[in-house]
Amino acid sequence: MGFDGTELTPALERMLITLQPAGIILFARNITSPQQTFKLLADCQRVIRTPIFSCVDMEGGTVDRLRNVIAPAPSPAKVAHTKDKKLFEKHGRIIGEEVRAVGFNTDFAPVSDLDLPPAHNVLGSRTVSADPKEVVTFVTAFLKGLKSARVFGCGKHFPGLGEANLDTHYELPAINKPFEQQWEQDLYPFRQLKHLFPFVMVAHAGYPAVTGDGTPASISQKWMTDILRKKIGYKGLILTDDLEMQGVLKMGTIEEISVQTMRAGADMFLICHKEDLVWRAYEAILRLAEKDKKFERRIKEASDRVLRLKKAARELKPITTPPDEKVIARLRENIQKFTAEVEAKTPAIA
C-alpha cells in the first residue's frame, strides 16, 4: 500500500497496525531526504509484525524516485545502448545500493517489456530492446546487480506492454496479438527468467486474442493461473500493478477488482495512494473470506506463499543505521561516475 505524507502519522499508524500489509511503497511525494525516507520506512516496519517489502520504482531515467535527493541515474535504454553487459549489472548494483541505503529492500524494476513501436510514446526509455533475447541479457544482469545489493527485483509488466499504445494509468489498452506470437516474443523474458524473478507484476491490459474478451490480465485467471503459474511454471509472487489505475478501475469498483484479482491467482495487489481505497479493498477481501470457504483457501494459499518468501529472504534483513552525509556523497559520486561511463560508451547516432 501507498499513502500521502512524509512521516508516520497517528492515523497511518493505526491503519498499518490493523491491516498489517505485506509491504509499503513510497513515491516522490513521500520522499524529502535520504534520512527522512529511512526513518519513515523504519517507523512503518516497527508497527508491522512481519518483515515488510519496502518498495520503490527505481529504473533510472524517467522513473527515478530518488533523483532529487541523491542523483539521477541513467535510463535502461541509455545503458542498454552501450551493449556492455558489465554496465548492465553495474546499473542494477548502483541503483540497488542507492535504494538499500535509504531503507528499501524491493525495487519494482527492471521493465521486461519489449521495445516495440506501439508503446514508444508510453514506455519510452524504460524499455531496452525489441529483441526478447537482448531483453533477457539486460534484465538478467540488472537483477544480478540488485541482488548483490540485497534488493529484490521484479519482472514487469506481464504478459507484456510492448504493443500497448495507451497508458494503463489512464486507459485500458487492448493488445490483439495471437498467443503464439506472444509466446515467442513478449512472453520470452518471463519464460526464460521465471526462476530469477522474486515478483512478477501483472499489467492492466486486455488481450482479446487470448481471453476472448477485454478482461485485463491483472484480473484474468487464464493469464495468472493457467499461463503464468501452470504453463510457464512460475513459482514466485504474482503481484498486480496498482489497482487505482484507470486501466483496471474501468472494470469495476475497488472492492470488485481486488476480489477478482485474488480469485484469478494474484498473491498480492498494489493500491498506491488513496487510503480509503486501501480500506475498502481490505474489508472486501476479509468479508468474502469469512463467508466463502473456497475464497478463504485462495487467500490462505497466497498468504502462505508471501510468508514463505519473507521467512527465507536475506533481502528483508533490515539495515539499522540511517545513511549519513558521507554515505550519500559516495552514492551520488558513484551514480555520476557511472553516468559518465555510460555516456562514454554510448555509440554516436548518425
Question: Per residue in 124-163, pLDDT tens?
Answer: 999 999 999 999 999 999 999 999 999 999 999 999 999 9
pLDDT of residue 315: 87
Q: Looking at the domain assignment, is residue 4 inside a domain?
A: no
pTM score, two decimals? 0.95
Determine whether 169 is an active site residue: yes
Q: Looking at the domain assignment, is residue 345 inside a domain?
A: no
pLDDT of residue 165: 86
Q: Looking at the domain assignment, is residue 301 inside a domain?
A: yes
Residue of 57, 241, 242, 267 marked active site: 241
Domain range holding 161? Answer: 10-337
Q: What is the pLDDT of residues 179-202, one digit of tens each?
A: 999 999 999 999 999 999 999 999
Q: Looking at the domain assignment, is residue 252 inside a domain?
A: yes
Check pLDDT > 90 for residue 293: yes
Check pLDDT > 50 for residue 350: no
Check pLDDT > 80 for residue 349: no
Q: Which helix (H) or strand (E) holds 329?
A: helix 325-345
Residue 194, burial from CB neighbour count under 10 angstroms (0-12, 13-18, 19+):
middle
123 φ, ψ (degrees, to nearest 5): -90, -30
Q: Looking at the domain assignment, is residue 347 inside a domain?
A: no
Q: Looking at the domain assignment, is residue 343 inside a domain?
A: no
**Domains in the chain, number:** 1
Residue of 169, 213, 304, 324 marked active site: 169
Q: Tell me what the mean pLDDT of segment 24-35 comes to.
A: 97
Determine whether 113 is an active site residue: no
Name the H helices within 67-170.
Answer: 76-80, 85-101, 120-123, 132-148
Check pLDDT > 90 for residue 318: no
Tell me, what CATH number does 184's domain have?
3.20.20.300
Q: What is the pLDDT of residues 244-280, one digit of tens each?
A: 988 788 889 999 999 999 999 999 999 999 999 999 9
Q: Looking at the domain assignment, is residue 79 inside a domain?
A: yes
Q: Looking at the domain assignment, is residue 329 inside a domain?
A: yes
Cell numbers for 46, please give them. Answer: 516497527
Mean of pLDDT over the chain: 95
User: Residues with Cβ < 8 Å from 83, sequence gap 6 or more?
Assistant: none
